[in-house]
């Protein structure tokens, strides 16, 4: 967050959203939207504008960004969000039958293949978060399949070559483009899930943050 604020020259507000299993869905996305509403209503105090927000998040946070934007643009039509930065977001409903298909594993071989499979079939995490509401028919769970996503704002998607979520990220990019959303996709090679956390160590992480900053300032 500090690096993004420095690179983009903007205010960054990090949301401490409620976590499962104590607070299952839809607690987290509704909390994020309430924060957005609060920032809109208190724009003068924060010395910012009441609209034109950029939402950014990685992994589960990227999924929450997508859902919060859907609440803003489609469900409540408040239209406070101007752009999205999705770093290897969780994309339920992307309908990836084999998460290893089309991935070049190189020297990682079967070990990486097993990692992909376990990452995408974590039923404990799924049940803990979604509980009894865990249906891919729910538009706030599977935003990728929800009606009205053509109203989502300009979006930057950042993915990693060896990320178990890479194929679902690519599905999301394709879906957004099909509906007419302006979307940019940057895929970083040689990295797996969570690589942006390695800023200061992995050059791909710093470059990804600088590209996000450039996107924010455009």
3-state class of 217 per DSSP? helix
pLDDT by residue for the chain (218 residues), tens only, comes to: 999 999 999 999 999 999 998 999 999 999 999 999 999 999 999 999 999 999 999 999 999 999 999 999 999 999 999 999 999 999 988 876 554 444 554 545 566 666 666 655 567 777 888 877 767 889 999 999 999 999 999 999 999 998 888 989 999 999 999 999 999 999 999 998 999 999 999 999 999 999 999 999 99
Structural domain count of the chain: 1
State how far the alpha carbon of 14 is from the alpha carbons of 2, 58, 114, in Å.
Answer: 10, 12, 33
H/E run at residue 2: helix 2-8
Strand partners, 187: 159
Tell me the CATH number at 76. 3.40.50.1820
Question: What domain range includes position 107?
Answer: 2-217
According to DSSP, the β-strands at 53-58 and 154-160 are unpaired
């Amino acid at each position: 967050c500090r690096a993004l604020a420095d690179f983009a020259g903007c205010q960054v507000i990090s949301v401490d959203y409620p976590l499962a299993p104590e607070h299952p869905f839809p607690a987290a996305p509704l909390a994020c939207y309430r924060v957005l509403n609060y920032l809109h209503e208190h724009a003068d105090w924060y010395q910012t504008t009441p609209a034109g927000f950029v939402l950014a998040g990685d992994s589960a946070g990227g999924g929450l960004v997508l859902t919060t934007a859907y609440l803003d643009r489609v469900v409540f039509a408040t239209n406070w969000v101007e752009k999205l930065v999705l770093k290897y977001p969780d994309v339920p409903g992307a309908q990836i039958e084999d998460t290893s298909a089309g991935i070049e594993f190189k020297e990682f071989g079967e070990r990486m293949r097993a990692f992909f499979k376990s990452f995408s079939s974590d039923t404990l995490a799924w049940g803990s978060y979604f509980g009894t509401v865990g249906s891919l028919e729910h538009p706030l769970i599977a935003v990728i399949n929800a009606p009205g996503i053509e109203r989502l704002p300009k979006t930057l998607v950042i993915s990693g070559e060896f990320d178990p979520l890479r194929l679902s990220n690519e599905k999301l990019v394709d879906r957004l483009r099909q509906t007419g959303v302006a979307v940019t996709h940057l895929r970083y090679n040689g990295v797996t899930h969570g690589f942006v956390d390695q800023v200061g160590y992995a050059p791909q992480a710093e470059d990804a943050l600088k590209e996000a900053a450039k996107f924010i300032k455009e």
